[in-house]
Amino acid sequence: MFEREAKKIIDEINNNFKILLVTGPRQVGKTTLLLSLKPKNMEYVSLDDEVLRNQANKDPKLFLEEHPYPLLIDEAEYAPNLFTYLKMKVDEVEEYGMYWLTGSQQFHLMKKASESLAGRVGIINLNSFTYSEIKQNTNKTLFDPTDLKKAPPIEANELFEIIYKGGMPELYKNKNLKRELYFQSYIDTYISRDVREITEIGNLEAFKKFIVSVASRTGEQLNYTALALDAGVTVPTSKAWLSILVSSGLVYLLEPYLSSELKRLTHIPKIIFMDTGLACFLAGWESARELQLSSNAGHYLETFIISEIIKSYNARGIKPNISYYRDKEKNEIDLILYKNNTLYPFEIKKTASPNKTMIKNFEKLNQSKKNIGTGGIICFYDKLLKLDEKNYIIPISSVINISK
């Protein structure tokens, strides 16, 4: 059993909310995690079962009477009529941890939860394994630019093997499972189940081309027109399909930093594919080595590090306040963390020889009314060192595998 970073916050939610909702992409380990943590007296039902699903939708009152709390309901999005009756049930008693819910369709679940269960539900967004979960670092802590910590270095070849493989739990639990077979099955299941549940897509082949195009552009600015051309669809269709990938949790849109004091800033988000292994498969990379030596390596490294930060924040029930900087002159800062009215800027570089010219764009933030805090270059250098008075050379391990 792989230890998950979300374990602690699940315990906290269970002790302070009547309902726990765990969302996230398909096959990231939601059910496995909750089954390992659920109380012995908690019943488990899956709405993958068509009989149970029909009952939960057509007669939700009877369903909840026949399956009393404490109850774990898997794939709860398949029974939208259930949520109103869950609200009625939890309002009858003053107990915490009555119902645990899981689901893969985040948009529908979040909408139902916000409409029917506001104030009664604690929500966790679970993703595929983080690096520290793969390495079983059970003392992992969040990356904090105000408290940078040393960590054992990660060798570049090893890291790109992880980037290429990704973090899907099944690939680590089943050592004999071939990566290509797994991801092909994953995409087929995702399209046949999740996508068709969300919307009608007439041309499935075009949608597959669209996903490939998005994966190939991870770490780049979003360009709806280019995505539409690749898939042979219209720009409005491109926008609708990307919203499906975002609502399914496969893609995160890293928003640009915007400020009234700073002029000529881009308003275009960046594509971050949340599992780099799936992105590599879709984009057709045939080996970690091929990816590592390619001109796209920097985009995948950037995607990996940003997704690692997002995953760890999600595992603690926190929405990370992150962005990137880009202006009309194409000056860019890869990552900005914002906290306590302070901007913390970072460059992410596939190098072991960082230098000060790599942080020259940090000065663009000086016109902002925000404080500018500790920043630096996240890279393959093996020691945490000061680059100048305010900025550091930061080993990748000090971002993704730091211990308490």
Q: CA–CA separation, 270 vs 262, rounded Å?
A: 19
Residue 102's SS3 state is: strand
**pLDDT, position 259:** 83
Average pLDDT over residues 234-251: 91
- In this predicted structure, what is the pLDDT of residue 80? 86
Query: Which of 209, 349, 220 lies closest to 273, judged by CA?
Result: 220
CATH topology of domain 7-125: Rossmann fold (3.40.50)
Mean pLDDT of 24-52: 94
User: pLDDT tens digit string along 282-336?
Assistant: 999 999 999 999 999 999 999 999 999 999 999 999 999 999 999 999 999 999 9
User: Could you read off the pLDDT of 61-84 as tens digits, one per residue?
Assistant: 999 999 999 999 998 888 888 988
Residue-wise pLDDT for 365-380, tens only, equals: 988 888 999 999 999 9
Q: Which helix (H) or strand (E) holds 224?
A: helix 224-231
pLDDT at 168 over 70: yes
Residue 88, CB-side half-sphere exposure with 13 Å CA sphere: 10
Asked, as a colleague might, if the bond just before 70 is cis with ω within 30 of 0, I would say yes
- Asked if 168 and 4 count as a contact pair (C-beta separation under 8 A), the reply is no
Q: Quote the pLDDT of residue 138.
A: 81
CATH 3.40.50.300 maps onto the chain at 7-125
For the stretch 174-183, pLDDT in tens is 999 999 999 9
Band (106; pLDDT cuts 50, 70, 90): low
Higher-pLDDT residue of 104 and 324 is 324
Whole-angstrom distance, CA of residue 298 vs CA of residue 348:
8
Collapsing DSSP states into helix, strand and coil, what is residue 308? helix
pLDDT in tens, 120-152: 889 899 999 999 999 998 888 999 999 999 999
Q: How far is the C-alpha of 98 from the C-alpha of 247, rounded, in Å? A: 27
Q: What is the mean pLDDT of residues 194-200?
A: 67
Task: Using DSSP, state whether 53 is helix, strand or coil.
Answer: helix
- Using CB atoms within 10 A of its CB, is residue 246 exposed (0-12), middle (13-18) or buried (19+)? middle
The pLDDT of 181-209, averaged and rounded, is: 80
Task: Give the model confidence (pLDDT) of 211-227 as tens digits.
Answer: 999 999 999 999 999 99
The beta strands (E) that lie in 278-388 are given as: 322-326, 332-339, 342-348, 371-372, 375-379, 385-386
Helix (H) or strand (E) holding 343: strand 342-348
Determine the Cα–Cα distance for residues 153 and 398; give it in Å rounded to an integer.
Answer: 8
Residue 335, pLDDT score? 98
Q: Which helix (H) or strand (E) holds 54?
A: helix 50-58
Hey, what amino acid is at 142?
L
Q: How many residues does the chain have?
A: 404
